Amino acid sequence: MPRFFYWIVVVTSCIVSTAFAINTAVPAMGGTLPEWFTDIYSHILTCGIGIIMVCKFTVAGGYKDIDPDKITKQDQHNSSDIL
């Protein structure tokens, strides 16, 4: 996995995990979540999970560190099969 995707996955996982932990722990301790957090919680979770999935599928879908000048017709055909 390229470093760029690795850091996106790590940072996004930390943000999503923290939001999930807050949403689980505060009500369990008898507290009330702030309204602003309740409003953005679903967006944090879905956007974060979406970002992680795109990174994972991009890497699993045949992402290669190759020179764009050396792309062959076969490579172009294979990349269109992924979609």
Which residues fall within 8 angstroms of residue 26, CB to CB, at 6 or more apart? 32, 33
Confidence (pTM):
0.62
Q: Over the stretch 1-47, which tens digit does the pLDDT of each residue have?
A: 677 778 888 888 899 999 999 999 999 999 999 999 999 998 999 99
Domain boundaries defined on the chain:
3-82
CA distance 44 to 51: 11
Residue type, 3: R
- DSSP states of 5-61: HHHHHHHHHHHHHHHHHHHHHHHHTT----HHHHHHHHHHHHHHHHHHHHHHHHHHT
Report the pLDDT value the prediction gives residue 34, as an integer from 0 to 100. Answer: 92
